[in-house]
Amino acid sequence: MLEELLEDLNPSQREAVSAPIGPVLVLAGAGSGKTRVLTRRVAWLLAAGERPSSILAITFTNKAAGEMAERVRSLVGPNADGLWVSTFHAACARMLRLHPELGGLRSGWSIYDQDDARRLLERTIRRLDLDTKRFPPRAIAQQVSLAKARLVDPERFTDEAEGLYERQVAMVYRSYQAALAEANAADFDDLIGLVVEGLATRPELAEHWRRRFRHVLIDEYQDANPAQHAFVAELVGRSGSVFAVGDVDQSIYAFRGADPSGVLTFEERFDGAKVVTLEQNYRSTNAILGLANAVIAKNRRRYAKHLFSELGEGTPARRYQATDERDEARWVAATVREFLQRGGVDPSEIAVIFRTNAQSRPLEEAFSEAGIPFRVVGGVRFYERREVRDLLAYLRVLANPDDDVALARILNVPRRGIGRGTEEALQAAAALRGRSMLSLLRAEGVEVLGLTSRQERALRGFVELIDRLGALASLHRPSELIDAVVAETSYLEHLNEEDPITLEGRLENIAELRASAAEADDLESFLERAALVSAVDEVMGASGVTLLTAHAAKGLEFDVVVVVGLEEGVFPHVRAIVDAEAVEEERRLFYVAMTRARTTLVLTSARRRASWGEPLYNPPSRFLDELPADLVATTAAPVAVGTACAESIQRASAVVEARAARSEWVVGDRVFHARYGEGTIRRVVPRGVDDELVIAFHGAGERRFFASMVKLRRA
Ligand SMILES: Nc1ncnc2c1ncn2[C@@H]1O[C@H](COP(=O)(O)OP(=O)(O)OP(=O)(O)O)[C@@H](O)[C@H]1O
Ligand SMILES: [Mg+2]
């Protein structure tokens, strides 16, 4: 069994996987099998007789966690139950869920995501009579978050504050923490910070968790921040079983407080650490590696390493210089179309990577025009849609009556005559008495607010509504609770009144929320999952070309990668170009983007780019100059390519139309999909020249595909 787990690994990978229990660091470049080695180590520990429940494996996204858990299960079978594979945040949230007192919380506590946190900060700033123009909530949120990443609490922040402005920020930070505590809530950064503090100050609980997690494994270690390092240290101590894998060249979160030096100081942090390096890349061709290595070599702050690949020389990167961002997007769409049609590449094997989210819009338009299925990662995310947030806010109040941010959101949604004046009176009275809004109303009645009788009636009606729903909360499953909220509040009528045109889409979202709630055992675990899903988690699953930022692309791999917008001021980002260190982080980001590609790399830029005011004429990115000329093939003049593209788009559309016209599938057909297995066609929705198929798979739930792109058999 143990031997089997080492079979398809190279000698260095084996050495890492089978290292004696104790601190191990695997330092290696992109695509060298770090994630694979980490997964294998988990399986190896299990095969060596360690209990699954003694293992905590940390991944960068919830999605990666799910995949890793699945891979471990396929390696060792069902005895992986009890194993925790999750992000730092999700692991800490779960610990706090089991032991709220570890973080000074009460049971039923809420997680505040970035949007909630910003709202609460805004309220705090106003309450302190500060100007939200001088103290923009978004910027203050960033500062508070950076402080928490370094475990700097309000006291230390105050001590370190210089000048009036910083002292005022410190004051905001302090009141914000107080407001969080009052609401029995923790923001994202607190999840880590509270656990670290708890482990350091509550010996009995610390003892429990140290005994529980004998082995901690961490992927993407270079992007852990000091709070996360402290968390690991609290759990495993100086000589415990910690297995970290990382690549300093892929450190891209310094701007959020990540501390890549943690990788370099691993040997100081842990006694008797074993360090393994990997040199063979199993992902990319030598052409792609040559390009990536040449670029990253320009960074001064790094440890040089060699990467080689046995996947052949490969083809040079294709390079295209567009006239503007529309031309760029169209050329990319046409090129992608060619890969799909002639190259036979699966759409899910193609990624278009950009520096900032806003760059996706012209690409989305061009892809739609060309009839290419695509998905955008990190657009308006599911859990950020209004109707989804509204319903979640109801559930949150039911789980945690002190959750004031959620309460404020639904106080007058749907409209029930509770105006701004009432809300402000309620907030002020609650703040004055140091309790949450709902608990104040329940304890002292609506009369304490000195409102008109009409306002009182509206507010009383609201409390009764929450009490009615609250009575159901303990008896019903989360999905049924959603139904009850929708029914009791006449929420659908409210949506219809607001905007009948978007109603259908919103209903679909509610149905999706309901479906995802149906998978959860209880309200709290459902709310926890909803709060922790990140943009990156929405990467995989559906078919279609993936459009995503370089940050979101970390850890993933695709056959074809197109990196767009390679211009000074775009990539590297305009905020970075004046600062040598920031440029190095941008270069690492470009390195991450390029090394996602297995066989084909395409690099584009635009001469002119629309912006808020005047169009920008940015010179090509300095990174392009750093590429070895023999590994780049500049494509023909735009005009010629343009014509070729137009033809190929026409050809492609004809194919799509022909296929759609056949309308092969009808609702109720039973089908077989290579990846998801057997399923039934639930809906066929016309989308332009193509049909969208909604298929319910027995094993994999509901998935959507474009009829012309998905390969199905009749089952
Ligand atoms: N010994 C091996 N034999 C065959 N394939 C391998 C081997 N090691 C790794 N691979 C494959 O190489 C690819 C890259 O591996 P993996 O994703 O683990 O690399 P990584 O170092 O984590 O990359 P990144 O730095 O981008 O996160 C994967 O498809 C993996 O399955
Ligand atoms: Mg990896």
HSE on the CB side for 567, CA within 13 Å?
23
Q: In the block, which residue shows the tokens 């791999």?
A: 557
Per residue in 429-440, pLDDT (tens digit) is 998 898 999 999
Where is average pLDDT lowest: 49-63, 171-185, 681-695? 681-695
467 lines ligand 1 (CB under 6 A): no
Q: How many C-beta neighbours within 10 Å does residue 218 have?
A: 25
Catalytic annotation present for 521: no
How many helices (DSSP H) and strands (DSSP E) are in the chain? 30, 22
Q: How many C-beta neighbours within 10 Å does residue 131 have?
A: 9
**Mean pLDDT across the stretch 656-685?**
72
Q: Is the pLDDT of residue 689 over 60?
A: no
Q: Which residue has the higher pLDDT, 262 or 430?
A: 430
**How do strand 55-58 and strand 215-218 relate by DSSP bridges?**
parallel
223 lines ligand 1 (CB under 6 A): no
Q: In the block, which residue shows the tokens 């319903």?
A: 391
Provide CATH code, domain 291-380+540-634.
3.40.50.300
222 lines ligand 1 (CB under 6 A): no
Distance of CA 241 to the CA centre of its chain: 28
Domain 382-532 has CATH 1.10.486.10: yes
36 lines ligand 1 (CB under 6 A): yes
Catalytic annotation present for 250: yes
Q: How many C-beta neighbours within 10 Å does residue 139 have?
A: 12
Helices 503-518/478-488 angle, 10° precision: 150
Q: How many C-beta neighbours within 10 Å does residue 307 have?
A: 23
**Could you tell me if 185 and 111 are in contact, meaning their C-beta atoms sit under 8 angstroms apart?**
yes
Q: Which two tokens stand for residue 379?
A: 């657009």
- In whole angstroms, give the CA distance from residue 549 to residue 378: 8
- In whole angstroms, give the CA distance from residue 446 to residue 449: 6
**Mean pLDDT across the stretch 398-405?**
95
Catalytic annotation present for 305: no
Which ligand 1 atom lies nearest to the CA of residue 9? 1
Per residue in 368-383, pLDDT (tens digit) is 888 898 888 765 567 7
Per residue in 614-665, pLDDT (tens digit) is 788 999 999 999 999 999 998 754 333 334 444 444 444 444 444 444 457 7
Nearest Cα neighbor of 112 from 17, 208, 7, 185 is: 185
- The domain segmentation of the chain, as residue ranges, is 3-100+192-278, 110-183, 291-380+540-634, 382-532, 669-714
Which ligand is the nearest neighbour of the Cα of 309?
1
Q: Which residue has the higher pLDDT, 150 or 513?
A: 150
pLDDT in the model for residue 709: 66
- In whole angstroms, give the CA distance from residue 480 to residue 477: 5
- Residue type (1 letter), 601: L
Please report which confidence band the pLDDT of residue 305 belongs to, taking 50, 70 and 90 as the band edges. confident
- In whole angstroms, give the CA distance from residue 291 to residue 288: 5
Nearest Cα neighbor of 49 from 214, 179, 269 is: 214
Which ligand is the nearest neighbour of the Cα of 557?
1
Give the largest Cα separation in the chain, rounded: 80
**Could you tell me if 479 and 392 are in contact, meaning their C-beta atoms sit under 8 angstroms apart?**
no
% pLDDT > 90, the chain: 64
Give the sign of the dihedral formed by CA 297, CA 301, CA 305, CA 308.
Answer: negative
- Residue type (1 letter), 417: G
> Order of strands, edge to edge, in the sheet holding 670-673?
701-706, 690-697, 677-687, 670-673, 712-714
Phi, psi dihedral angles at 22 (to 5 degrees):
155, -175
First to last CA, the chain: 36
pLDDT in the model for residue 380: 59
- In whole angstroms, give the CA distance from residue 646 to residue 648: 5
Per residue in 510-553, pLDDT (tens digit) is 887 888 888 888 999 899 888 876 545 554 445 789 999 999 89
pLDDT in the model for residue 640: 33
Nearest Cα neighbor of 546 from 534, 533, 559 is: 559
pLDDT in the model for residue 6: 92
Counting ligand 1 atoms within 8 A of each CB, the residue from 283, 589, 590 with the most, and so the one to mutate, is 283
Nearest Cα neighbor of 555 from 176, 21, 64, 28 is: 64
Please report which confidence band the pLDDT of residue 78 belongs to, taking 50, 70 and 90 as the band edges. confident
148 lines ligand 1 (CB under 6 A): no
H/E element, 467: helix 453-473
Ligand 1 atom 25: residue of nearest CA? 30
SS3 call for 692: strand
Q: Which two tokens stand for residue 239?
A: 């000589």
Distance (angstroms) between ligand 1 centre and the Cα of 5 equals 15
Nearest Cα neighbor of 43 from 7, 8, 69 is: 69
pLDDT in the model for residue 378: 63
Helices 188-201/203-212 angle, 10° precision: 110
What is the rounded average pLDDT for all residues in the chain? 88
- In whole angstroms, give the CA distance from residue 454 to residue 463: 15
Provide CATH code, domain 110-183.
1.10.10.160
34 lines ligand 1 (CB under 6 A): yes
Query: Which bin fits 110, alpha (ψ -120 to 50), beta or left (φ > 0)?
Result: beta
Per residue in 344-364, pLDDT (tens digit) is 899 999 999 999 888 888 898
Catalytic annotation present for 219: yes
Where is average pLDDT lowest: 193-202, 524-533, 582-591? 524-533
Where is average pLDDT lowest: 8-12, 213-217, 448-452, 646-650? 646-650
Contacts of 637 (CB under 8 A, 6+ apart): none
Please report which confidence band the pLDDT of residue 273 belongs to, taking 50, 70 and 90 as the band edges. very high
Contacts of 629 (CB under 8 A, 6+ apart): none
Distance of CA 70 to the CA centre of its chain: 19
Identify any residues that bridge with 545 across adjacent strands, giving them in sequence order. Answer: 374
Q: How many C-beta neighbours within 10 Å does residue 418 have?
A: 19
Distances (CA, A) of 413 to 123, 386, 514: 19, 11, 19
Counting ligand 1 atoms within 8 A of each CB, the residue from 282, 305, 558, 596 with the most, and so the one to mutate, is 282
Q: How many C-beta neighbours within 10 Å does residue 239 have?
A: 12
% pLDDT > 70, the chain: 92
HSE on the CB side for 210, CA within 13 Å?
18
pLDDT in the model for residue 530: 83
Per residue in 152-169, pLDDT (tens digit) is 999 999 999 999 999 999
Give the sign of the dihedral formed by CA 547, CA 551, CA 557, CA 561.
Answer: positive
Give the sign of the dihedral formed by CA 227, CA 232, CA 233, CA 238.
Answer: negative
- In whole angstroms, give the CA distance from residue 394 to residue 391: 5
Distance of CA 196 to the CA centre of its chain: 23
- In whole angstroms, give the CA distance from residue 621 to residue 394: 48
In this structure, the dihedral spanned by the alpha carbons of residues 399, 401, 402 and 404, taken in order and rounded to 10 degrees, is: 100
**Could you tell me if 238 and 230 are in contact, meaning their C-beta atoms sit under 8 angstroms apart?**
no
- Residue type (1 letter), 257: G
Length, in residues, of the chain: 715
Distance (angstroms) between ligand 2 centre and the Cα of 60 equals 9
- Residue type (1 letter), 200: A
pLDDT in the model for residue 302: 76
- Residue type (1 letter), 207: E
pLDDT in the model for residue 379: 55
pTM: 0.80
pLDDT in the model for residue 531: 83
Query: What top-level class would CATH report for the domain 3-100+192-278?
Result: alpha beta
pLDDT in the model for residue 496: 87
- In whole angstroms, give the CA distance from residue 137 to residue 142: 9
3-100+192-278 and 291-380+540-634 agree in CATH topology: yes
- In whole angstroms, give the CA distance from residue 582 to residue 607: 24
Which ligand is the nearest neighbour of the Cα of 32?
1
- Whether the ω angle into residue 23 lies within 30 degrees of 0, i.e. cis, is no
Q: In the block, which residue shows the tokens 């973080």?
A: 103
Distance (angstroms) between ligand 1 centre and the Cα of 34 equals 6
